[in-house]
Amino acid sequence: MAGEDSIEFTFVTYNIGGMKYLREERLQAFMDKIEVTLPDIVVIQEGTRLTYEKLLRSMGLLGYKRQLFDVMNTRETGEIMFSKFPILSGGDIGPRYLSFKKTSENRGISCIKIEIGGTDRGLDNKTSGGTGVWICTSQFDDQTSLFRMQVNEFTSILRTTLKDDPVIFGGDTRILEYQNDLVHPDGWCDAWYEAGTEDNKYTYDSKKNLLTKPPFRDRPDRVWFRSYESGWPPGGRLSSSKHQSLECVECKLYGNDNPVAISPHYGVWVKFRLVK
């Protein structure tokens, strides 16, 4: 339970599938799910310009702010980000797209900084006094040699750019279970290991999802997070005087109970607690 010195919020990452097959029906099924559950933060992968245009109004009516980077104009599909919390802008706190050094499709990490638990300042729809948390998403390359380099590059990119603030990453990492040399970065936590169960493990599951090509059961879609207390950089001095802790309360599949399959992937839903 959240107390006076903490706030709980929910986060969803979802590869909604960029293929044309039943795109309208699948997108509507996704929106139906969002309208019922209303997660605070939603990041999607394999969205198209058409996806963005259709979601823009619907998500806006539900109170979401959005972020789509111009680089998506150079890709067939890309990442789109939505937040019920204010998205900060300007200087070192504004949205940014961090490109991978080596990629076949101009891939990178989309990042926004949101303010959680702030006080409404009035008519300008801005808040103050909250805690800044970075939200990041990506879909790594499907070429093994490239995505391995991108996984290894992930930590250094974020360390340089996002400094010591809490960070939540959700996306399609392409990492499969047998690749046990590729795990969440040092100093980070994997939400499924923190609060998931075996029943909520496989985001790509041909035994349960008719859109998934058989035989395939794995967990490429992952949520990683890092809080102040992770001590990143390890043993280093944090530049902020704050010492918030980001905790994972619950982790489960999202969209796996839908009557209409949204995508070959299931999403991941996580409840976080930010303790001041």
> pLDDT tens, 38-50?
999 999 999 988 8
Let me know if residue 113 belongs to a domain: no
When divided into structural domains, the chain yields a total of 1
Let me know if residue 144 belongs to a domain: no
The pTM score is 0.90
Let me know if residue 103 belongs to a domain: no
- The three state secondary structure string of 236-253 is CCCCCCCCCEEEEEEEEE
In whole angstroms, how large is the CA radius of gyration of the chain?
18
Contact 41, 64 (CB under 8 A): no
Q: What is the mean pLDDT of the chain?
A: 87
CA atoms of 209 and 200, how far apart (whole Å): 13
Let me know if residue 94 belongs to a domain: no
Most confident segment among 34-48, 59-73, 179-193: 34-48
Q: How confident is the model at residue 241 (pLDDT cuts 50, 70, 90)?
A: very low
**Domain harbouring 165, CATH code:** 3.60.10.10
Closest CA to 220 of 208, 210, 205, 209: 205
Q: How confident is the model at residue 80 (pLDDT cuts 50, 70, 90)?
A: very high
pLDDT in tens, 143-161: 888 988 998 898 888 877 7
Let me know if residue 91 belongs to a domain: no
Let me know if residue 130 belongs to a domain: no
